[in-house]
Structure 1
Amino acid sequence: MDNYTRNFITHKSPKQVYELLLDVKQWWSGIYDEIITGESQKENDTFSFSAGGGMHFSEQILKQLIPYKRIVWEVTESNLAFLSDPNEWAGTKLIFDIQEITETEAQLTFTHEGLKPQIECYGQCSNAWTQYFQNLQQKLN
């Protein structure tokens, strides 16, 4: 089955999209009382994400940066308290691909590699990702 994927076109440059994505507190927040600590600006930076009063905790390491084109975070630790396997996200990857359409327009494609329909988290996690991407899309319009 396919990994969870979303994409949209924005009237911002690839550089603007890239810079906003690296500032995770600007878009991966505001929905479930999120707490984000750590850094997310250069390769090997790590940050943690906590939401829902401790229902979701994950730690990510920035594995790949291709300026204005690609960002890859690997989830190194997860504790999703609402699942029978709270470590379900560990080893998954959060991949952001930015494709230039014009100098002032880009397509952003997000793939959560490992978040597949057959795993327990898929329903709740894909719904949450949809909300965060609506938040991100609003910031990029």
Structure 2
Amino acid sequence: MENNNFTKTILVAQSKTTAFNAIKNFRAWWSEEIEGTTDQLNASFFYHYKDIHLCKLKLIDMIPDKKLVYEVLENEFNFIDDKTEWVGTKLVFDISEKDTKTQIIFTHEGLVPTYECYAVCNDAWTGYITNSLHQLITTGQGAPNPKDKDGFNAALAEKWRLN
């Protein structure tokens, strides 16, 4: 059976520990609009962008410097018919060494091309993983969506006419 889950891979010169700690810091690479704890096993947090996307996630697996798995507990999109499309899916970050670099493989298990949100979600995750998270790991400064301001999400909303 073919695996169609959304996946992005980045390579960085920084250590696995640096990558692991950056990934757990969702406020520094995804959005400053996060309430709750993103870095403790079995803790949950809430993310939102206006009323376009609301999401509650829980850290369900954590192997230091190797793996992080977050489960989507609740989700709502205002721009598709099945507003709860992500519920039960998982955000998986696998961290390993590749040659002399650190490799991060991000897989959104359950986010597949047949999902109504796939085009928008593909665009969003690609930007957050290959740009913001990559920058956070390599420079210490990510590009998260800012609180109550225009940012990457605003550009996505405009591009996809979600406002």
Aligned length: 135
Amino acid at match of 2:22: L
The alignment partner of 2:65 has SS state of: coil
- Corresponding position: 1:119 with 2:81: no
The structure in which a higher percent of residues are helix is 2
**Considering only aligned residues, what root-mean-square deviation do their CA atoms show, in Å?**
1.3
* TM-score (norm: length of structure 2): 0.79
Identity rate, percent:
38
Number of the residue aligned with 1:23: 25
Deviation at 1:101, TM superposition (A): 3.2
The alignment partner of 1:140 has SS state of: helix
* TM-score (norm: length of structure 1): 0.91
Q: Which runs of 5+ in 1 are unaligned?
A: none
Number of the residue aligned with 1:37: 35
The alignment partner of 2:125 has SS state of: helix
- Corresponding position: 1:107 with 2:103: yes
Number of the residue aligned with 2:133: 136
Q: Which runs of 5+ in 2 are unaligned?
A: 139-163
Task: Say which of 44, 47, 53 aligns to 1:46.
Answer: 44
Cα distance in 1 for partners of 2:81, 2:98 equals 42
Amino acid at match of 1:122: Y
Amino acid at match of 1:9: L
| Correspondence list, 1:89-108, <5 A | 89-101=86-98, 105-108=101-104
Cα distance in 2 for partners of 1:139, 1:87 equals 29
Cα distance in 2 for partners of 1:114, 1:37 equals 24
Q: Which region of structure 1 is more displaced relative to structure 2, 64-73 or 130-139? A: 130-139
Deviating above 3 A after TM superposition, structure 1's stretches of 4 or more consecutive aligned residues are: none
Q: Which region of structure 1 is more displaced relative to structure 2, 93-102 or 13-22? A: 93-102
Cα distance in 1 for partners of 2:132, 2:37 equals 21
Number of the residue aligned with 1:55: 52
The alignment partner of 2:83 has SS state of: coil
- Corresponding position: 1:77 with 2:74: yes
Cα distance in 2 for partners of 1:124, 1:22 equals 23
